[in-house]
Amino acid sequence: MTVEVITRITDILDGKKTGEKVKLRGWIYRTRSSGNIVFIVLRNSDGIIQATIKKGNLPENEFEDAEKALIESSIEIEGIVKEDKRAPGGHEIQVTNFRVIHFAEVFPITKDQSPEFLLDNRHLWLRSQKLTSVFKIRSTVVGAIHKFFREQGFYEFDAPILQPNQCEGGSTLFEVKYYDTKTYLSQSWQLYAEAAIFSLEKIYNMGPTFRAERSKTSRHLSEFWMAEMEVAWAHLDDVIQIAKDEVRFILHEVLDKNKRELDFLKRDREKLQPIAETEFPTITYREALKILKEKENMDVPWGKDLRTIEENKLMKHFETPVVVTNYPLEAMAFYKPPDPKDPETALCFDMIAPDGYGEIIGGSERSLDIEYMKRRLREMGEKIENYEWYFDLRKYGSVPHAGYGLGVERLIAWICGLDNIKDAIPFPRTMTRYKP
Ligand code: 4AD
Ligand code: MG
pLDDT tens digits, 136-154: 999 999 999 999 999 999 9
Ligand 1 atom with least separation from CA of 230 = 12
pLDDT of residue 303: 86
Output the furthest CA–CA distance in the chain (Å, rounded).
Answer: 85
Ligand in nearest proximity to the CA of 187? 1
Residue type (1 letter), 150: R
Ligand in nearest proximity to the CA of 331? 2
Query: 144 alpha carbon to ligand 2 midpoint, in Å?
Result: 22
Count of CB atoms situated within 10 Å of the CB of 232: 19
pLDDT of residue 387: 95
Residue 75 to residue 102: CA distance in whole angstroms: 7
pLDDT of residue 337: 98
Residue type (1 letter), 32: R
Name the H helices within 278-353.
285-296, 308-315
Residue nearest to atom 4 of ligand 1 (CA): 362
| Closest C-alpha among 344, 346, 356, 345 to residue 307 | 356
Q: Are strands 91-102 and 47-54 parallel, antiparallel or unpaired?
A: parallel
Count of CB atoms situated within 10 Å of the CB of 176: 13
Query: 148 alpha carbon to ligand 2 midpoint, in Å?
Result: 22
Residues present in the chain in total: 436
Q: 60 near 98, Cβ under 8 Å?
A: no
Tell me which residues of the chain have a pLDDT lower than 70. Answer: 1-3
Residue 162 to residue 183: CA distance in whole angstroms: 6
Residue 175 to residue 158: CA distance in whole angstroms: 21
Residue 278 to residue 365: CA distance in whole angstroms: 25
The dihedral through the CA atoms of 367, 370, 375, 377 has a sign that is: positive
pLDDT of residue 217: 87
Ligand in nearest proximity to the CA of 306? 2
pTM of the predicted protein model: 0.96
Instruction: Give, for ligand 1, the residue of 173, 203, 324, 410 to mutate: max count of ligand atoms closer than 8 Å to Cβ.
Output: 410
pLDDT of residue 118: 97
Residue 163 to residue 191: CA distance in whole angstroms: 10
Query: 359 alpha carbon to ligand 2 midpoint, in Å?
Result: 7
Ligand 1 atom with least separation from CA of 350 = 17
pLDDT of residue 274: 97
Ligand in nearest proximity to the CA of 332? 2
In terms of C-beta density within 10 A (0-12 exposed, 13-18 middle, 19 or more buried), how is residue 368 classed? middle
Ligand 2 (ion): residues with CB under 5 Å are: 362
Residue nearest to atom 20 of ligand 1 (CA): 407
Name the H helices within 278-398.
285-296, 308-315, 370-379, 388-392
Residues with CB under 6 A from ligand 1: 167-168, 188, 190, 211, 213, 220-221, 224, 226, 228, 359-363, 403-405, 407, 409-410
The dihedral through the CA atoms of 95, 99, 101, 103 has a sign that is: positive
Residue nearest to atom 9 of ligand 1 (CA): 405
pLDDT of residue 2: 59
b/e code 200-211 from CB counts within 10 Å (16+ = b): bbbbbbbeebbb
Instruction: Give, for ligand 1, the residue of 359, 406, 412, 423 to mutate: max count of ligand atoms closer than 8 Å to Cβ.
Output: 359
Query: 199 alpha carbon to ligand 1 midpoint, in Å?
Result: 25
Query: 138 alpha carbon to ligand 1 midpoint, in Å?
Result: 18
